[in-house]
Amino acid sequence: MYEIFGKFGAIRQIRVGSTNETRGTAFVVYEDIYDAKNACEHMSGFNVSNRYLVVLYYQATKAYKRMDTEKAKERLEEVKERYGIGGDLTKQKMAYTPTPRR
């Protein structure tokens, strides 16, 4: 990987996916953003070991949004469990007891 991607500039690190979910993926981190841009433009579609590369910029905002969504779902499940609510929360009827006015 260093040999292939190193042609475009100094590489800070390469991380290769090792779990079943990340198998076949890698993150290549360049010292200079312009080197990363150049690598993306030239390496996308490149054939390595009879596999074509798909090279994309990493978008941190998408990763954080996904993490926020997952945390919100976990929090919703905690609230549902705490109050004994099952099924779809939008279909539940909420009990409301008004406080008497004085």
- pTM over 0.85? The answer is no
Q: Is 14 left (phi over 0), alpha (psi -120 to 50) or beta?
A: beta
What is the spatial distance between Cα 58 and Cα 45, in angstroms, rounded to a whole number? 17
Top CATH class of 2-52 equals alpha beta
Where are the domains positioned within the chain? 2-52, 60-85
Give me the mean pLDDT over the 32-38 stretch.
Answer: 90
Report the chain's mean pLDDT, rounded to a whole number: 79
Q: Is residue 71 within 8 Å of residue 63, measured between CB atoms?
A: no
